[in-house]
Amino acid sequence: MERGVISTFDRKRPSVRLSYAFCYLVAIAIAVSTLYPLLWVLLGSLKEAKEIFYVPPTFLPRTFLWENYLRAWQAYSIPQVFQNTLVIYFGFVVVRLISLSTAAYALSHLNVPGRRGVYLLFLATLMLPAFAYLIPSYLIIFHLGLLDSFWAICLPAGADSYSLLLLKNYFDGIPGEIFESARIDGASEWVVLRKIVLPLSKPIIAV
């Protein structure tokens, strides 16, 4: 009879202990190979510029120059970079939440004419390589007059086929009785989406 858990007696067997030791060694090797480049970059940021190009290279800085971070903060407009990152991130979230959730809800629970064809169309776009629609996307943004703006980055997020299909498939798993009960109580489709579907979909939205 197979057992899913190794007993204390089995763990004392030489073959099992050897297997455990091998697994630990592999895990340690993976951890070191992952953390070493990060540590190298961190220590390199504390070196003088010329020390980075020493041959043979040095692992530890001769002098830890913590002021390098202050210089980088002032020279490369780091606060502006952080601000741009936050604006783009929240723009992505808002555009995706509004555009993709409403579209996925319509494809999943509304009797929209041709919704199966629309679903298959979005599914087919997943077979296209990303560079195939770079020029069309650029032309659309150009004609909308949105070049050199945050909208040029955030708006395309509202047409992400992969996220749309993820949301649609998740919405399909929500029991239809919940929607029927809400509609009987007089809730509009927008209220159903906002107060029922989205709260139940927090796991997939977080993804």
The pLDDT tens digits of the residues spanning 187-200 come to 888 888 888 888 88
Q: What are the chain's domains?
A: 8-75 (no CATH), 78-206 (1.10.3720.10)
Whether the pLDDT of residue 43 is over 80: the answer is: yes
pLDDT of residue 35: 94
**163 touches 103 (CB < 8 A):** no
Give the tens place of pLDDT for each residue, 126-153.
888 878 888 888 898 899 888 888 888 8
Assign 5 a pLDDT band (cuts: 50, 70, 90): low
Close Cβ partners of 94 (under 8 Å, ≥ 6 residues apart): 154
Q: Which of 156, 20, 186, 172 is nearest to 91 (CA)?
A: 156
